[in-house]
Amino acid sequence: MTTLQILAAQEALKKMFEGGHFSICTIDAILKVTRGVPNGDDYHTLRLLHCINFRDLAPDLLSELPSLIQRVLNAPSIMFNNALPLSVERIPMMEIAHGKSRR
């Protein structure tokens, strides 16, 4: 991926998290740019959450969402110049669920 593509992917994820709901469209767009083929089980689990507000997710699911997204974006077929800049592991999901901006 080019630096510009990496920045665009980071901004897309940021917008999704700040938008209040999960969007598989964001993940699909990033996968299209990376030409990634994610693990089917993880990806299909994310598809089930499409358009659900973060505040409506069960706490256990909400806390696992960053890891699930990370696994999909870390698929072996996805290369970000030998490093994955789209780290979502430390995103404060409870704050996002309660409408608190990360900015």
pLDDT tens, position by position, 39-56: 789 999 999 999 999 989
Low-confidence residues of the chain: pLDDT under 50: 79-86, 101-103
Q: Domains in the chain: how many in total?
A: 1
Q: What angle do CA 85, 88, 94 make, to 5 degrees?
A: 155
The reported pLDDT for the residue numbered 82 is 40
- Establish if 103 belongs to a structural domain: no
- Establish if 18 belongs to a structural domain: yes
The reported pLDDT for the residue numbered 66 is 84
Prediction pTM value: 0.75
- Establish if 87 belongs to a structural domain: yes
The reported pLDDT for the residue numbered 73 is 84
Q: Which residues, 6 or more positions from 49, have their beta carbon under 8 angstroms from its beta carbon?
A: 22, 24, 57, 61, 65
Mean pLDDT of the chain: 78
Residue 42 near residue 65, CB atoms below 8 Å: no
Residue-number span of the structural domain to which 87 is assigned: 3-97
